[in-house]
């Protein structure tokens, strides 16, 4: 028994020594791993800083120290923000203003600027009546289908045709406007002066455009047109009417889109309310259930108490008897 006890104590001492050695090895490896991880982080930070500095230096080499505006509006003055009624969710265009704006466009703007993307049929019911739109379309001629000899005859316009362009091509437009190209009325009000070029003698000052110059002179003056509804044709009134008409020309479907949006929101609200009611009805049994804990009933059977020390003594006695 003494030999077995000595052998057991020797094994315990060797295990303790091996454990201490393993712990020291793990600590050393963890320390080395953390040092290498920190070194890699430092290298990555230095490399990213070098790349960022190199990018800034390369940009400075290409473009210099001059900072350009991101948009033309940031280079010039910002346009005044007006409270347009048609921008509200439940409001629409003023149809009288649309009719007056179309009159200003026809009598003032149509000689240079085109609405070649707007068909005559789009004017029906909003700006003009059916007969007025047909009469306006018939004032212009459009190429028809080839005849038996291959010639293309001209025919009066129809509601399905698009408004005509005042110029045949870009060269003719530039020739008629001193080299400036009057773009479409839906794009802009004229050709802005390029960046860095001095304005010509016939350029008008326009601080809202890049270069603060525009090749279109002022065209709206008080009393230039005579409105059918006897509205005073002041410069501000004509500008307001033609701007609202151009907004409609850019979005002729805005009224239908707002009407459809209100219908969709109303239907969505109703369906959402119904889905909430169905969810509460379907899961009511689960949400309203009650969980009650029912502990086991007490019994009169008593078991003899045995302490932990008594059990350990009996276990050691049994083990020593087995070893013997």
pLDDT, tens digit (0-9, with 9 covering 90-100), for 31-53: 556 678 788 888 988 999 999 99
User: Domain end: 199, 228, 256, which one?
Assistant: 256
Give the residue among 215, 127, 217, 214 at the shortest CA–CA distance from 163.
127
246 & 198 share domain? yes
pLDDT at site 190: 43
Is 70 exceeded by the pLDDT of residue 266?
yes
- 62 and 87 part of one domain: no
- 173-221: pLDDT as tens digits: 888 887 778 865 444 444 444 444 454 554 666 667 666 667 777 889 9
pLDDT in tens, 117-158: 899 999 999 999 999 999 999 999 999 999 888 889 999 999
Compute the distance between CA of residue 229 and CA of residue 96 in angstroms, rounded to an integer: 9
113 is in an annotated binding site: yes
Is there a domain that residue 155 lies in?
no
User: Is 211 a member of any domain?
Assistant: yes
Instruction: Let me know whether 60 and 81 are in one domain.
Output: no
* CA quadruple 216, 222, 226, 230: dihedral, nearest 10: 140
Residue 130 forms part of a structural domain: no
Question: Is there a binding annotation on residue 109?
Answer: yes
Is residue 182 domain-shared with residue 246, that is, in the same domain?
A: yes
Structure tokens at 192: 């802005």
Domain co-membership, 58 together with 202: no
| pLDDT value of position 186 | 45
Q: Are 174 and 199 within one domain?
A: yes
Dihedral pair phi/psi, residue 191, rounded to 5°:
-90, 115
Q: Which domain holds residue 55?
A: 18-67
pLDDT of residue 143: 92
245 neighbors 102 (Cβ within 8 angstroms): yes
Task: Judge whether 112 is annotated as a binding position.
Answer: yes
- Cα separation, 237 vs 87, in Å, equals 19
**pLDDT tens-digit readout, 66-91:** 666 555 555 556 777 888 988 888 89
* Total-model pTM: 0.60
| Total domains in the fold of the chain | 2
- CA-closest candidate to residue 177, choices 216, 146, 142: 216
* Pairing outcome for strands 204-205 and 213-214: antiparallel
Give the end of a domain, one of 26, 42, 67: 67
Q: Are 61 and 186 in a shared domain?
A: no
- Do 186 and 213 lie in one domain? The reply is yes
């Amino acid at each position: 028994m003494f030999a077995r006890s000595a052998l057991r104590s020797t094994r315990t001492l060797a295990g303790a020594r091996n454990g201490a050695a393993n712990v020291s090895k793990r600590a050393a490896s963890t320390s080395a791993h953390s040092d290498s991880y920190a070194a890699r982080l430092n290298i990555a930070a230095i490399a990213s800083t070098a790349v960022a500095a190199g990018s800034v230096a390369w940009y400075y080499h290409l473009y210099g120290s001059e900072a350009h505006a991101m948009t033309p509006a940031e280079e010039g003055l910002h346009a005044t923000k007006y409270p347009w009624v048609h921008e509200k969710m439940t409001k629409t265009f003023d149809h009288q203003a649309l009719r007056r704006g179309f009159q200003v466009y026809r009598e003032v703007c149509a000689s240079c600027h085109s609405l070649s993307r707007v068909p005559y049929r789009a004017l029906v019911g909003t700006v003009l009546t059916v007969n007025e739109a047909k009469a306006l379309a018939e004032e212009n001629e459009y190429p028809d289908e080839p005849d038996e000899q291959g010639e293309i005859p001209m025919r009066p316009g129809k509601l399905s045709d698009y408004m005509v362009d005042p110029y045949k091509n870009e060269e003719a437009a530039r020739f008629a406007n001193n080299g400036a190209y009057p773009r479409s009325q839906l794009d802009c009000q004229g050709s802005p002066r390029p960046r860095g070029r001095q304005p010509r003698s016939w350029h008008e000052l326009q601080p809202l455009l890049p270069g603060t110059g525009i090749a279109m002179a002022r065209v709206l003056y008080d009393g230039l047109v005579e409105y059918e509804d006897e509205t005073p044709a002041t410069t501000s009134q004509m500008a307001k009417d033609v701007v609202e008409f151009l907004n409609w020309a850019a979005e002729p479907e805005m009224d239908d889109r707002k009407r459809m949006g209100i219908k969709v929101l109303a239907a969505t609200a109703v369906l959402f309310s119904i889905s909430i009611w169905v969810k509460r009805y379907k899961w009511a049994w689960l949400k309203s259930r009650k969980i009650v804990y029912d502990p086991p009933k007490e019994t009169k059977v008593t078991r003899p108490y045995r302490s932990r020390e008594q059990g350990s003594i009996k276990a050691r006695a049994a083990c020593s008897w087995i070893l013997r």
